[in-house]
Structure 1
Amino acid sequence: MRTLLEPSLYYFSVIAQSGSLTASTEKLGMTVSALSRHIAKLEGDLGVPLFERHARGMTLSHAGEMLYRHAQRSIADVEALEQDIRRDVVQQARRIRIACTEGFAFDFLPTSLSRFRNAYPESRVLLDVVPSHVATQQLLSGEAEIALTFSMKPESGVWVRWTMSAPVMALMRRQHPLATRASLRLAELQPYPVLLQQRATTNQQLFDIACNVEGVDIVPAVSSQYAAALFQFVKWMDGAIMPSGYVAVANRIAQDDLIAIPFDNPLLQQRRLQVQTLAGRALTGLAATCLEWLIADLRRADIVGDGTASMPAAN
């Protein structure tokens, strides 16, 4: 508190409480002469005596009483500020700021973070769902501590803490006529209702490029900005197929009686999932614990088996 309060005012309040320079020296760790100089300076600045000196000690003058009330209010304000700062430090240590794409937010993160929150109920998670490039931008700007994205190229200024293949796959019901195939050609989707995202996601971009390269024209039966809505169509529309990443639906496939089949087009195998943090800055506390928790859950969802940790990208 002393560092946030004008020193002479703090010394004055201690002397006013003790009623003696000598009695104040032990608390303040200063000599009588040093304290006298501070009080003399205050009195000189104000132009009035602050104490009435007696043989048995010092009592406040009328001006001293006014200044003492001001000092007490100032001390109370400083103490309140210090408490607010300490509370904010605790809250910051509990806060985990994550930026991710919709593919992660659909099911993987709600499932993983719910279990994390159950294990660490003091944590506070701030989850922002944005396009891939925005998630990385938020990491670089300090708005997020962890970013989960899908990428096809290295990113400067970030540390890729975990990366693994995230191929685009064909999501369908297990009763679908194509469900027994080991892999699918894009042309095989044409007789069936295909569900496509309208957003410019890496998933959609790769699918469009692959169709153009193969000369396959697929007109979607249903298109939407929201992958979660398309997922419901897969469950209930006969013959429906949705190009999707596996991690986005990994926890739902078994319980919803679905299956994800890879495409044989190499373009649809190029996408990689990345868990990013800011290069040169190590996470601490609950954020570090959460990072390891998320990576462990992604390891379990790694069907390709090529997951690995990487070093920070060069600036």
Structure 2
Amino acid sequence: MLNPTLRIHSPAICYFDMVRRCHSIREAARRLNVASSAVNRQILKLEDEVGAALFERLPRGLRLTAAGEILTRHVMLVLQDVERIRAELEGLHDVQTGHVEIATVEGAAVALLPAVLKRMRLRYPAVTVGVTVQGSQSIPAAVINGQADLGLAFALPRSAETSLLCAGHFRLGALVAPGHPLASHTSISYAACAEHGVIQANSELSIHHLVAPLHKHAAVAHKPLLQSNSMELARQLVRQQLGVAFQTRIGVEADLARAELLHIPLNDQGGIFSDLGLYARKGRDLPTAVRSMAHLIGEEIALREREEQPRTPRIS
């Protein structure tokens, strides 16, 4: 078994990273189980080598300076590479360990990702996983800065700093309750939905950027009843027939199966589609555990895309 305290770099890197996370030298020392003076000494040494202060000393704790932000990006890359090396060394002894950090959108965390995590646990029980739910627009930065190994998000623009590992093509539709006046439609326009009041995602979410142009072009007099970054709140309001929300089938699978909600494909522009993609930092050599997780996520996305095709054929 590989020594879990393997260090192939200066302790100052670990100390800096912990102080950055804790905003406190004393708390960082406690978590690292070392003396505060040792942590402070390493930070001062780094600041001397960099030639600039890395933290601002504030009454409520420490805050990164501009130099500290720059060093953070380097430190995150170093620590990720150490994790990859650790996993590869452990692989020589057939030890399936490691850690995977995922930044994901809310919809994918409802059913798709739990299905993947279940399979991951069965295959690699020693691999640990961290999941952070956030808006699509903030996920690329999490991947690029090293806060996440993988990013799972809808409709992200192309970036020179991220690589698309896989993607699924899903149709955007209106969510309504079974008793809603629009429930009998097999497809529908945004303008028709707006007549009954719409619930829009705010700009943190990719759906906002797909729906906002439709709202503008529909020349609707009414403003959205609600804008929120919570898709769960939107679904609850739809159940109470307080408005129409918009989403792909990803994240509402159980509601649709129980017939608690209906998903009516939008027919504007021949159909509005959103790609659910899995992203990693471009050029990064992914550790074994991360590659295994990415493979399972790709399989699950492909499965759900195949399941959707008979109901909502792709329109070109």
Q: Which TM-score applies when normalising by structure 1?
A: 0.60
Count of residues in Structure 1 that have an aligned counterpart in Structure 2: 222
**Is 1:128 aligned with 2:123?**
no
Going from structure 1 to structure 2, the CA distance change for 1:105 and 1:151 (only over 3 Å counts) comes to same
SS at match of 2:256: coil
* 2:250 aligned partner, one-letter code: V
Letter in 1 for 2:286: L
Query: Residues of 2 paired with 1:262 and 1:191: CA distance?
Result: 17
* Cα shift at 1:241: 2.0
- Pick one of 222, 229, 241 that aligns with 1:225: 229
Give 1:164 shift.
2.7
Residue from 201, 205, 211 that aligns with 1:201: 205
Q: What corresponds to 2:249 in structure 1?
A: 246
Q: How does 1:110-121 map to 2 (within 5 A)?
A: 110-121=114-125
Letter of the 1:288 counterpart: R
Answer whether contact 1:93 1:286 (CA < 8 A) is retained. Answer: yes
Contact conserved, 2:166 with 2:298, CA < 8 A, in 1?
Answer: yes
1:176-235 C-alpha deviation (Å, 9 max, x unpaired): 332332211122113424322344322012212111022124433444331112222223
Residue matched to 2:174: 170
Secondary structure of the 2:160 match is coil
Q: Which residue in 1 is equivalent to 2:63?
A: none
Change (3 A) 1:304 1:152: farther
Task: Compute the displacement of 1:272 (Å).
Answer: 2.2
Structure 1 residues 180 and 116, CA, compared in 2 at 3 Å: closer, same or farther?
Answer: farther
Aligned alpha-carbon RMSD (Å) = 3.3
- The answer to whether the Cα contact below 8 Å between 2:169 and 2:274 also exists between their aligned partners in 1 is yes
1:289 shift after superposition? 1.6
SS at match of 1:253: helix
1:304 to 1:239, Cα distance in 2 relative to 1, 3 A: farther
Picking from 142, 145, 163, the partner of 1:141 is 145
User: What residue ranges of structure 1 are gaps of 5+ in the alignment?
Assistant: 5-84, 307-315
- For the Cα contact (< 8 Å) 1:152–1:270, is it kept in 2? no
Identity %: 21
Structure 2 segments unaligned to the other structure (5+ residues): 8-84
Q: Which residue of 2 aligns with 1:48?
A: none
Residues 1:273 and 2:286 aligned together: no
CA contact (8 A) 2:96 2:124 kept: no
Cα displacement (A) at 1:170: 0.5
Counterpart amino acid of residue 159 in structure 2: E
